[in-house]
Structure 1
């Protein structure tokens, strides 16, 4: 990996990236409220489950296929980008999860536009996505920096794991050392999730997560909460 690729992916995976990821828990806070997650071990299992059953079969392969479409970006690919982006948003299990991916996608698109990443034709396609899902915008940003799909998916997955852990530190709550142990333990599973994602064809993407959908729907009316999802 070249230094330019590495630093670009570190930037895209950074919690300092101004897309608002820190304000979301993606159902974890609702799981804590339901006492499904009460300690560090529960938290590790929850994040591992999300990585294995939501990201690996659905979100990560979606990013990989969007990256491939952004790279070629012929007339067919441009239309496919828009259609699959709409399908991804429709696959979100609750209203708050749809709002989350749309808000983060919009914020990342603003960043890409203001920094003039990519060429004008690709940015025009990105602008036509209304709303734009965060994975579509991430795939655009990664592809404009010539990142390899494997590396980009690892950065995306690590960012998700880190954000889930950060949410647990606040909401369970957990100590910093417990959070570090969770991240270290999940690093090998990120590699497995990426390998599975790269082997998943477009017609085999799966986002079926009924418990997550129920918890997220409950979270929308949860009495007290720290996060927007």
Structure 2
């Protein structure tokens, strides 16, 4: 991997990227409220399940196909897959989350003039825009390989989930690091599975997560927006 590609992906995966990822737990806080997560081990099981059964089957293969659409600059395919992803969100807060983060990342791409002008125009035309759509644009603009992009995206998701668990369970810093280390191999497996997933095989079926997220919308006390 070229150094420029690596540093670009580190930037995109960084929690310092100003798109508001730290504000969201993606259902993890609701799982804590309902007793599904109560310590480091149960947090690791929950996060690994989300990585293996949700991200690897839906979000990561969508991201892989979206990168190829940006490469071909197929505006119709980009818009269609963006709409499919938005429609796959099973609760209002999950939909608002991806729209807010997608909009913030798209604004960053435009402000920093990433990519070429024609593709930036296509990016600006997508309203609302999902986070994976904007992330795929940013990765393509930096000529990042698809497998490395998926790994960066998955690691960023795992790191954010671990950080949410640290705050909400709460857990100590060492417990959070154990979760991240334990999920290195599952991230590799998730990327390989996503790369082998055709567009027709993408699956976003996650009813348990959808129910917990819907309940989180009216949860009495919460730290996160999702």
What 5-or-longer segments of structure 2 have no aligned partner? none
Are the aligned partners of 1:82 and 1:128 in contact in 2 as well (CA < 8 Å)?
no
Aligned mate of 1:192, from 189, 193, 209:
189
**Match in the other structure for 1:28:** 28
Quick one: distance in 2 between partners of 1:2 and 1:84?
A: 29
Deviation digits for residues 24-77 of structure 1, max 9, x if unmatched? 00000000000110010100000000000110010000000000010111xxx1
Q: For structure 1, which runs of at least 5 residues remain unmatched after alignment?
A: none
- Number of aligned pairs? 226
User: How many angstroms apart in 2 are the aligned matches of 1:195 and 1:154?
Assistant: 9
Asked if 1:208 is matched to 2:185, the reply is no
Q: Taking structure 2 as the reference length, what is the TM-score of the superposition?
A: 0.99
RMSD in angstroms over aligned alpha carbons?
0.4
1:173 counterpart SS class: coil
Q: What does residue range 1-229 of structure 1 map to in structure 2 within 5 Å?
A: 1-73=1-73, 77-229=74-226
TM-score (norm 1): 0.98
Q: Which runs of 4+ in 1 moved over 6 A?
A: none
Cα deviation per residue 1:81-120 (whole Å; 9 max; x = unaligned)?
A: 0111011001001000000000000000000000000111
Contact 1:32 1:172 in 2 (8 A): yes
How far 1:196 sits from its partner (Å)?
0.2
